[in-house]
Structure 1
Amino acid sequence: MENWTIDINCDVGEGIGNEADLFPLISSCNIACGGHAGDVDSISEIIKLAKIHNVKIGAHPSYPDKANFGREVMNISNSELKQSIIHQVSTFKKILEREEGQFHHIKAHGALYNQTAKDEVLAMIYLDAIGEYKDTVPIYVPYKSVVAEKATDLGFRIMFEAFGDRNYNDDLSLVSRKMDNSLIKQPEKVLDHILPIIQEGNVVSVKNKRIAIQAETICIHGDTSSALEILMYLSKELPNHKVQLEK
């Protein structure tokens, strides 16, 4: 029987304070770097925790919008957005170097992540802002997204990401958080959701269609109320399905 290995990541440093519980159960993390959440102190603290638990460390830039947690599209100029992303990631990198951590990846957050998946102009702004890291770290991107295509054209290394606690539409976009069925909170349903992604290369949409997808890393949102419960369950059950956590 075939065996599989998967990276599981969490968005962290967002003020929830559950990182010490989550880190033994995941293999990579995306640290908020001041856009939607986080500051110098929280970045430093989370990096130290990640090193203790051998969790790969990534930057998690977003729209500079703490009021809306980076989950709404901001009406700011392209140059303002670019400069904000540059500042967020450079701040993160300086702290990471001070803490002697290894820079593993970059993953956009919230509305920035969702918009760059479908908006070519915004994708190019984002990629331009992080261009200096192109040869050193990969970026987490959705499968068949605009940002994935443009990043590949520009020579970025990419890692396809899927979401274990979010439902998908038929076009592989995420069901809006404004909808009641956007989140998957029950651990058993999360397992049922991600096993086809890992083992078969498809995901079952909210309309019960099987859609082709690729994922090298799967996100469980750290701010989901049942995040710890989900991760504890996956840690116990994934090996029973020949799936090992990538460390």
Structure 2
Amino acid sequence: MLSNPKGYPIDLNADLGEGGKFDPQLLSLITSANIACGGHAGDPHSMRKAVTHALKNSVNVGAHPSFPDRKNFGRTRVDISEAQLSDSIYQQIMALRAICDELGAKLFHVKPHGAFYNEVAKNKVLGLILIDVIKLIDPELKLMILAGSPLVKLARQQGLTVIEEAFADRTYLNDGSLAPRSKDGSVIHDPQQALQQVRQIIRNMPVKTLDGKPIIINATSICLHGDNEQALEFARQISSLLRKEAE
């Protein structure tokens, strides 16, 4: 399902086109890129640049739509109508698709961003809005979403192929959802802690939540945030780990 020319035992994705200075280097280490397409960050120039680098590195190209909220980087819910949200998500994905068409790239998947990611994973109404937009644009587009979330089952029932995602640099709550960024310890800054979490996920071993509870996360892709200060170092070490695990 996922193109993985680097031979990793699991897909490694990152959120790019958000102004991070290490995007080109990250693209040499990851296998899928989620490219900001105007909702929280990104413009035609940044999208074109990200897609060009993704093509050079044989990386799967994905759209990374969000609530239309550049002021807060898409990290807060925006109170807009369902129709307005649908239109915004459609416009964001289509903006990136147009650039993919221009450059000869295939738009492979869609991964929501920030508050939209968290809300859509559990909110059926928002989930159906996203699913309907994806099916309208291209029913073959894959949906990348939080592993084990209610949206996984809903999207599959609606005929979409789902990529279940886990995180290298975020901690979890006991219900398997991501710990909110407002909580201390929600973002992992220690490369060794991130490596251990990745190792546990790909070996189907329990991952400790923020409260210390062990949970199993069944995922087919691991996310590394491109806006994290340690993103490049994390990516290098995780790439090395994945190569060793594939041996």
Please tell me the TM-score bracket, short chain as reference: over 0.9
* Correspondence for 2:195: 191
Partners of 1:97 and 1:197 in 2: how far apart?
35
Q: Which runs of 5+ in 1 are unaligned?
A: none
Cα distance in 1 for partners of 2:191, 2:33 equals 20
Which amino acid in structure 1 is aligned with residue 150 of structure 2? V
Question: Residue 37 of structure 1 aligns with which residue?
Answer: 41
**How many residues are treated as equivalent by the alignment?**
241
Partners of 1:202 and 1:214 within 8 A in 2: no
Q: 2-side partners of 1:51 and 1:143: how far apart?
A: 27
SS in structure 1 at match of 2:176:
coil
CA distance in 2, matches of 1:132, 1:201: 38
Contact 2:111 2:144 in 1 (8 A): yes
Give the AA of the match of 2:175: D
Q: How does 1:7-18 map to 2 (within 5 A)?
A: 7-18=11-22
Q: Distance in 1 between matches of 2:148 and 2:236?
A: 30
For 2:186, the aligned partner's letter is S
Q: How far apart in 2 are the matches of 1:112 and 1:180?
A: 21
> Is 2:231 the counterpart of 1:227?
yes
Alpha-carbon distance, 1:132 to partner:
2.3
- Percent identity, aligned pairs only? 38
After TM superposition, give the deviation of residue 24 of structure 1 in Å: 1.1
Task: Report the counterpart of residue 106 of structure 1 in structure 2.
Answer: 110
Matched, 1:50 2:49: no
d(CA) in 2 for partners of 1:237, 1:158: 25
> Residue 146 of structure 1 corresponds to which residue in structure 2?
150
Higher mean C-alpha deviation, range 199-208 or range 60-69: 199-208
Deviates more, 1:3-12 or 1:191-200: 3-12
SS in 1 for 2:78: coil
Deviation at 1:110, TM superposition (A): 0.6
Partner SS for 1:104: strand
Give me the TM-score of the superposition, normalised by structure 1.
Answer: 0.93
The 5 A counterparts of 1:156-175 are: 156-175=160-179
Name the CA distance, whole Å, in 2 between partners of 1:200 and 1:149.
Answer: 20
SS of the counterpart of 1:5? coil
> How far does residue 143 in structure 1 lie from its aligned partner after superposition?
2.0
1:122 and 2:135 are equivalent in the alignment? no
Residue among 79, 82, 86 paired with 1:82: 86
User: C-alpha deviations, 1:153-191, integer Å up to 9, x for none?
Assistant: 100000100011000001011111011201011111101
* 8 Å contact kept, 1:28–1:55: yes
SS in 2 for 1:220: strand
| 3-state SS in 1 of match to 2:145 | strand
8 A Cα contact 1:134 1:155, kept in partner:
no
Q: Which amino acid aligns with 2:200?
A: P
Q: After the TM superposition, which segments of 4 or more aligned residues of structure 1 sit over 4 Å from their partners?
A: none
Following superposition, the deviation at residue 134 of structure 1 comes to 5.1
Q: Which runs of 5+ in 2 are unaligned?
A: 1-6
Q: Is contact 2:119–2:126 with CA below 8 Å preserved after alignment?
A: yes
